[in-house]
Amino acid sequence: MLEKIYKKFDKEVFSTFLETNPCSNCYICCTSKYSQKVSELELAYLKDFIIKNHLLEVYYKDFIHFLDLRMKKGNKEPETVCPFYDISLNKCIVYPARPFSCRIFGNFAFSFDSIPASCIYYNKVKVIKEKDLIKIPQMDSLASLVAVWRVLHLFSFKKQKLTVQSR
Ligand code: SF4
Ligand code: SF4
């Protein structure tokens, strides 16, 4: 289901860019300079992708640390690069499973200041208000899926806890 949402978004937003890396050797948005939020559902999907593709699981732990760094206000380490970005290959090694927030960068922003002027999307970015976030293609489907996943996850967690307690 999440995969379908990602694919629909990519098809709708990236059109001809799908098979190539239009960013060449730029990876500014893959550094801790820019903040990013990732839902637990997407993290679980990413972890699954890493395991299935025999990528080092340690990358996943590093990514969680990287997300913490990204969310810190006044981050003093702007040069920290996402552990999934391979500088020698100029690419994201989890590209098919990269989170939604990675996909929307450059395409949608709350202000022009939030993306670098050198970004290839700078003149194409759609500036939106925070309340209009849901208007981003596939955002409504993603929000619904995340909400359902959270409830199911909580339910299975509580069930597991009860099973352990009753032993
Ligand atoms: S997951 Fe991929 S696209 Fe997202 S920040 Fe990391 S390297 Fe960049
Ligand atoms: S989206 Fe923009 S900032 Fe990010 S890597 Fe591509 S060109 Fe660079």
End-to-end CA distance of the chain: 35
pLDDT at site 35: 86
CB 81 within 8 A of CB 27: yes
Domain that holds residue 133: 2-165
Q: What pLDDT, on a 0 to 100 scale, did the predictor assign at position 147?
A: 94
pLDDT of the chain, 167 residues: tens digit per residue = 999 999 999 988 886 555 567 888 899 999 988 888 999 999 999 999 999 999 988 899 999 999 999 888 665 555 789 999 999 999 999 999 999 999 999 889 988 888 899 999 888 899 999 899 999 999 999 999 999 999 988 877 666 666 656 65
Distance in Å, CA 120 to ligand 2 centroid: 6
- pLDDT for position 162: 63
C-alpha angle 4/52/47, rounded to 5°?
70
- Output the residue whose Cα is nearest ligand 2's atom 8: 26
91 φ/ψ angles, rounded to the nearest 5 degrees: -155, 160
pLDDT for residue 38? 95
The finding on whether 49 has its CB within 6 A of some atom of ligand 1 is: no
Q: Whose CA is nearest to atom 4 of ligand 1?
A: 102
Which of 14, 28, 86, 92 to mutate to test ligand 1, by most ligand atoms within 8 A of the CB atom? 92
User: Cβ neighbours of residue 135 under 8 Å, at least 6 residues apart?
Assistant: 128
Say what the pLDDT of residue 78 is: 58
From the number of C-beta atoms within 10 Å of its C-beta (0-12, 13-18, 19+), residue 51 rates as exposed
What SS3 state is found at 105? strand
How many CA atoms, within 13 angstroms, populate the side-chain half-sphere of residue 62?
A: 13
Q: Whose CA is nearest to atom 5 of ligand 2?
A: 27
Which pLDDT score, from 0 to 100, does residue 167 have? 59
Q: CA of 83: how far to CAs of 46, 66, 67, 92, in Å?
A: 13, 8, 10, 9
Do 34 and 113 meet the contact criterion of CB atoms below 8 Å apart?
no
pLDDT computed for residue 141 by the predictor: 96
Number of domains the chain contains: 1
